[in-house]
Amino acid sequence: MPEIINLARRAALYIRVSTEEQAKHGYSLEAQEKKLKAYSKEHGYKVAGIYIDEGKSARKAYTKRPEFMRMMDDVKADKIDVILFIKLDRWFRNIYDYYKIQEILDAHGVQWKTTEEHYDTETTNGRLHINIRLSVAQDECDRDSDRIKFVVNRKIERGEVVSGRVPKGFRIENKHLVLDPEMAPKMLDMFEYYDTHENLNGTSSYMRETYGISIHPNDIKQMLRNEKYKGKCRDNENWCPQLVPPEMWDRIQIKLGKRSVRNNQTGRIYLFSGLVRCAECGGLMTGVHASSSSYGENLYYRDKNATVLKRCVHTKMMPERKLEAWLLANLEGQISETERAWKIEHQQKKRKPKLDRAAVLRKLDRLKDLYLDDLITKEQYRADLEKYQAQLAQEDGPEERPPDFSALRSILDSGFNQMYQALDRKGRQDFWRGVIKTINIDADNIPHLILK
């Protein structure tokens, strides 16, 4: 009997570990990935994607697992034939969610396999066995969770650390946090600077220019809210040494709250919010404002990677008025240019013969029969197998829908300028969001438009 080589099926490798399991068992994401890759290679699967949910419990709703949801989107797009995971408890410990997902898998012909356990989903006894296993796992998870919470609470009562994550300015000694003599004064200076200036971006710049420490403004905000800096963890007011005086920490929380309310109450509308990106680094350009006696309030878009974090060369700000004027003057030309480019690309795709996936799979089946009947050599079989697998790997995805060029032109031909000028700022914002997908701004402040 000649050696049988498995036909390549598209396999998703799903890896999950919760923080509780890390604390109890020390599950390794790397070990899971290594085992699944080895299993795929041994059984002839083609890895279509690796989906890793770290720190996510299987008892929580699957919608709380981002990578799991991304994998299910690929299932619905028919990009996956089988899902591999090491054990059933990596998949679910909740019977209700398990059957909801199983319905989706069945609808798309997707199977699942555990590499270290065996389950039969085809028979009544097999499904009953899965039910029992999930019920046991669910109960065990509840008990483990209670035990781990008790251990964690006891550690906090004794002032011990519960993870290896240490706030800047501290270090671990003998299971307890202590102040880091080198970093602690710098972190205290950061709190003091914000306490005086109440500006997150300014604090970020100050830390970078004074100490060479690059911290994103959003990360600074999280640090300013961290109770550990005043020595508290949960109900233990003296969990660790105080880096920041409690009265300063409390005062900063009030300032952070006021700042949030003030920003929310401005009602300021940026016409191109969420649309403008830096063409150099791909970062989203955010809106800022400035006031002058001559022109009133001016709105701009800037790349924080350049202006705040110094990680990009695009330091120029794009005035909103200039960008709006450019779009109004060039929208018709941009529509024509986009339509021409799309037609050229579409013609090229049409000239390329579409892959008949079913036909290739039939050829693979016939190829295996020829090999098993000793009608072709092992070398011929391998050569044709690689050829067909390469064809499947290059299969095109679903055809991209073009923008509705006729609808865009009808808007421009029906008194567009008069209509646009009559819109309020919210209406103008909605219009641009309905027409534009992205506006890429290069380092010379030249816009490059991508239509929806």
Q: What is the pLDDT of residues 433-444, one digit of tens each?
A: 878 888 999 988
Give the confidence band of 4 by pLDDT, cuts at 50, 70, 90. Answer: very low
**Mean pLDDT, residues 365-377 taken together:** 75
In angstroms, the CA 113 to CA 18 distance is: 21
Instruction: Report pLDDT digits (tens) over 57-100.
Output: 655 677 888 899 999 999 999 999 999 998 877 676 566 677 78
Say what the pLDDT of residue 322 is.
94
Give the confidence band of 202 by pLDDT, cuts at 50, 70, 90. Answer: confident
**Mean pLDDT, residues 377-386 taken together:** 78
Say what the pLDDT of residue 48 is.
92
3-state SS string for the chain: CCCCCCCCCEEEEEEEECHHHHHHCCCCHHHHHHHHHHHHHHCCCEEEEEEEEECCCCCCCHHHCHHHHHHHHHHHCCCCCEEEECCHHHHCCCHHHHHHHHHHHHHCCCEEEECCCCCCCCCHHHHHHHHHHHHHHHHHHHHHHHHHHHHHHHHHHCCCCCCCCCCCCEEEECCEEEECCCCHHHHHHHHHHHHHHCCHHHHHHHHHHHHCCCCCHHHHHHHHCCHHHHCCECCECCCCCCCCCHHHHHHHHHHHHHHHHHHHHCCCCCCCCCCEEECCCCCECEEEEEEECCCEEEEEEECHHHHCCCCCCCCCCEEHHHHHHHHHHHHHHHHHHHHHHHHHHHHHHHHCCCCCHHHHHHHHHHHHHHHHCCCCCHHHHHHHHHHHHHHHHCCCCCCCCCCCHHHHHHHHCCCHHHHHHHCCHHHHHHHHHHHEEEEEECCCCCEEEEEC
Give the confidence band of 374 by pLDDT, cuts at 50, 70, 90. Answer: confident
Name 171's bridge partners: 178
Instruction: Report pLDDT digits (tens) over 30-62.
Output: 888 999 999 999 988 999 999 998 876 655 677
For the packed helices 200-211 and 184-197, what is the interaxial angle rounded to 10 degrees?
140
Of the listed 18, 40, 204, 205, which one is catalytic? 18
In angstroms, the CA 115 to CA 84 distance is: 7
**pLDDT at 349 > cutoff 50:** yes
216-230, 370-384, 416-430, 432-446: which has the minimum mean pLDDT? 370-384
Every domain of the chain and the residues it spans? 10-142, 170-265, 269-354+396-452, 357-395
- Residue 80's nearest CA partner among 110, 42, 58 is 110
Give the confidence band of 133 by pLDDT, cuts at 50, 70, 90. Answer: low
Say what the pLDDT of residue 293 is.
53
Instruction: Report pLDDT digits (tens) over 297-343.
Output: 789 999 888 877 777 888 889 999 999 999 999 888 888 888 888 77
For 38, the token pair is 């080895």
**pLDDT at 239 > cutoff 80:** yes
In angstroms, the CA 205 to CA 284 distance is: 19
Give the confidence band of 8 by pLDDT, cuts at 50, 70, 90. Answer: confident
Say what the pLDDT of residue 32 is.
87
Name 451's bridge partners: 436
Q: Which fold has domain 170-265?
A: Hect, E3 ligase catalytic domain fold (3.90.1750)
Say what the pLDDT of residue 362 is.
79
C-alpha distances (whole Å) from 415 to each of 169, 421, 422 are: 62, 10, 11
What is the CATH class of 10-142?
Answer: alpha beta
Say what the pLDDT of residue 264 is.
43
Is residue 135 within 8 A of residue 95, CB to CB? The reply is yes
Q: Please say if 18 is a catalytic residue.
A: yes
Give the confidence band of 28 by pLDDT, cuts at 50, 70, 90. Answer: confident
251-255, 304-308, 369-373: which has the minimum mean pLDDT? 369-373
**Mean pLDDT, residues 261-287 taken together:** 78
Same fold, 10-142 and 170-265: no
The residue assigned the tokens 């219009």 is 431
Give the confidence band of 255 by pLDDT, cuts at 50, 70, 90. Answer: confident
